[in-house]
């Protein structure tokens, strides 16, 4: 299993999304982070997330979701 680490700030998450880095999201009841696609980075600092699953809908994440984002260590 891959090792993941958290981001230091929400701005770091936004920068990674703008660069097209691989981002992972760990929802509250998920055992491990899952790769997600960033559909759009909005000017107001939110992200449109595609969970790449037929079982979940696209959603918008803001700084309140900060601690759920991961990157590979």
Give 2-30 pLDDT, tens digit per residue: 799 999 999 999 999 999 999 999 999 99
N-term to C-term CA, the chain: 12
In the CATH scheme, what is the code of domain 4-72?
Answer: 2.30.30
Which pLDDT does position 24 carry in this prediction? Answer: 98
The model's pLDDT over 34-57, given as tens digits with 9 standing for 90+, comes to 999 999 999 999 999 999 999 899
Domain chopping of the chain, boundaries: 4-72
Query: Distance between CA atoms of 9 and 63, rounded to whole angstroms?
Result: 9
pTM, 2 dp = 0.91
Q: Which residue has the higher pLDDT, 55 or 66?
A: 66
């Amino acid at each position: 299993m891959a090792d993941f680490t958290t981001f230091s700030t929400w701005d770091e998450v936004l920068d990674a999304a703008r660069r097209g880095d691989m981002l992972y999201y760990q929802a509250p009841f998920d055992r491990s982070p899952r790769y997600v696609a960033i559909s759009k980075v909005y000017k107001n600092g939110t992200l449109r997330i595609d969970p790449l699953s037929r079982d979940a809908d696209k959603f918008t994440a803001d700084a309140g979701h900060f601690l759920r984002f991961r990157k590979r260590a």
